[in-house]
Structure 1
Amino acid sequence: MVIHITSPIVIQAAGNKPKHIEEFIGRVNSQTESVSIARMKSPAGWVEPGQTPEFDEYTVVLSGKLRVTTRTDVIDVKAGEAIIVPQGEWVQYSTPGKEGAEYIAV
């Protein structure tokens, strides 16, 4: 059966500043356990606590710059770029630029 999602649900995010998460597909909005697809809007200076995901994370940056810090690297992902963080890899996301960032997270 086809499921039409007409709007996302807004979810509270962890971090030092408010971050806007619009979940289109996932546990909260569509009761989908196998995947989560959300549009994120994080303000300038936002930093979230580090995490070790239990699944691969795919992120496409739409505007601004998203900083991805791992145990061995710091990568600035800019608009039009993407990054894959494998399951079990410690990672911390932040938006150090004055413009913040908008991105799609899967």
Structure 2
Amino acid sequence: MVRRIEAPARIPVPGGKIIDEYVGNVSSGDGDVSIAVMQAPPGWEEPAQTPEFTEYTIVLRGSLVVETGGETLDVNAGQAIVTEPDERLRYTSGPDGADYIAICLPAFAEELAHRDQEPPDTSPGELVV
């Protein structure tokens, strides 16, 4: 049966990144695959993660920096990267930000991402114990 998806589900993310999920757990209830368009501003970064899914990432504009296994890869507009499950990696945007498509098999779910805990946000002079 054909299903039309009228609009993506916008998923809020700290740091100014925009995620518009067209297919996946949030937007369409599909757990087998997720397809999302991402917009990451310049200087955006996320904590390292060790996801349980394969991720196919296609950069449409700008660039992503992907850190994995002691290697740093610059993925520029027109290029793609494939990451395998249980591979520790970290994404940041390049100096001009990045627009990209992410396809995850199985579908992205927060509990499958296994993100590192982010350090607490502190002001200068504030002591964290």
TM range (shorter): over 0.9
- Please list the CA deviations of residues 28-81 of structure 1 after superposition, one character each: whole Å capped at 9, or x if unmatched: 000000011000000000000111111110000000001111122100000000
Q: TM-score, normalised by structure 2?
A: 0.77
Partner of 2:2: 2
Partner of 2:67: 69
- The whole-number CA distance in structure 2 between the counterparts of 1:81 and 1:94 is 16
Gaps of 5+ in 2: 104-129
User: How many aligned residue pairs are there?
Assistant: 103
- Shifted more, 19-28 versus 68-77: the winner is 68-77
- The whole-number CA distance in structure 2 between the counterparts of 1:31 and 1:82 is 26
Partner of 2:97: 100
Between structures 1 and 2, the one with greater helix share = 2
> Which residues of 2 match residues 30-41 of structure 1 at below 5 A?
30-41=28-39
**Would you identify which runs of 4 or more consecutive aligned residues in structure 1 move more than 2 Å?**
none
Higher-Rg member (1/2): 2
CA RMSD after TM alignment: 0.9
Q: Percent identity among equivalent residues?
A: 47
- The whole-number CA distance in structure 1 between the counterparts of 2:75 and 2:94 is 11
Q: TM-score, normalised by structure 1?
A: 0.93
